[in-house]
Amino acid sequence: MTATVSFTIDSPLGPRTASVAYERKGDGEPLLLLHGIGHHLQAWHPVTDILAAEYDVIAVDLPGFGVSEPLPEGVPYDLGTVVAALGSLCSALGVERPHVVGNSLGGLLALEMGRSSLVRSVTALSPAGFWTEAERRYAFATLRAMRLGALTLPRPTLERLARSATGRAALTGTIYARPARRSPEAVVAETLALREAPGFEQTLAAGRSVRFTADVPGLPVTIAWGARDRLLLPRQGVRAKQTVPGARLVRLPGCGHVPMNDDPALVSRVVVDTVRATTRRGD
């Protein structure tokens, strides 16, 4: 069941109130799940029940995505502001230094939360920010094309396409290696989420100058990349490992850019292994 929480964030304009939607399930150590640009928290549904068997799983709609409100007017969607907002969100939920798992934009946010000592471990799935300029332009052009398609496709046509495996491949083949496994209802919902995301343009604009160049020392970090990622190409994982030399780099065979639906068991195992590493370290 989706709930909403409000919290105060420090912004260049002073303290402002933000509000986000989230789902929470399970017991144990807290595990925060962060989706990618244009997506919503339902991206995590294929793995939520698996992870909730061991952890207190909190999946959020990032500000300006899903059913979360956009950031207050004038507050930027830059990395520092959104990471600070996520820290305030955790405090509002009564969570101190959760484990964090992020995909794409969410992976970049997860790594920055790790660098800022806001979390206990980081699992980043195809994180943004390890691109060359040419790769960034390609990814952004692809995202804009996906957004344009979502904006212009009539809903009856969208629903008709989603009913067939071929249609689901046309709609989501850029982000899933196995789009036929996604349900018609999920494909319609995530296409509408992309269409209606008020934070999309500002987030994309803020990402033009983003490259993750700092290490994340002192905590377990896993960077996992889908072998069939068509949006952020797998070679970017090598750069990520060079940037975060203490990280474990994992290849996800048969997975695309959003791997949770392509292989839920594998993704869950990667997450659990990372979280358990904190126990072995005595954190």
Query: Residue 187: inside a domain, yes or no?
Result: no
Burial of 39 from C-beta contacts in 10 A (0-12 / 13-18 / 19+):
buried
Query: What pLDDT sits at residue 281?
Result: 59
Alpha carbons 10 and 142: distance in angstroms, whole number: 33
Query: Residue 22: inside a domain, yes or no?
Result: yes
pLDDT in tens, 239-268: 999 999 999 999 999 999 999 999 999 999
CATH code, domain with 45:
3.40.50.1820
Q: Are 111 and 122 in contact (CB under 8 A)?
A: yes
pLDDT in tens, 1-30: 899 999 998 877 788 999 999 999 999 999
Q: Mean pLDDT for the chain?
A: 96
In the chain, how many domains are there? 1
Domain membership of residue 240 as a residue range: 2-132+202-281
pLDDT range class, residue 282, cuts 50, 70, 90: low
Query: Residue 21: inside a domain, yes or no?
Result: yes
Query: Residue 70: inside a domain, yes or no?
Result: yes
pLDDT in tens, 103-156: 999 999 999 999 999 999 999 999 999 999 999 999 999 999 999 999 999 999
pLDDT in tens, 199-211: 999 999 999 999 9
pLDDT range class, residue 236, cuts 50, 70, 90: very high
Query: Residue 162: inside a domain, yes or no?
Result: no
Query: Residue 152: inside a domain, yes or no?
Result: no
Query: Residue 24: inside a domain, yes or no?
Result: yes
Query: Residue 170: inside a domain, yes or no?
Result: no
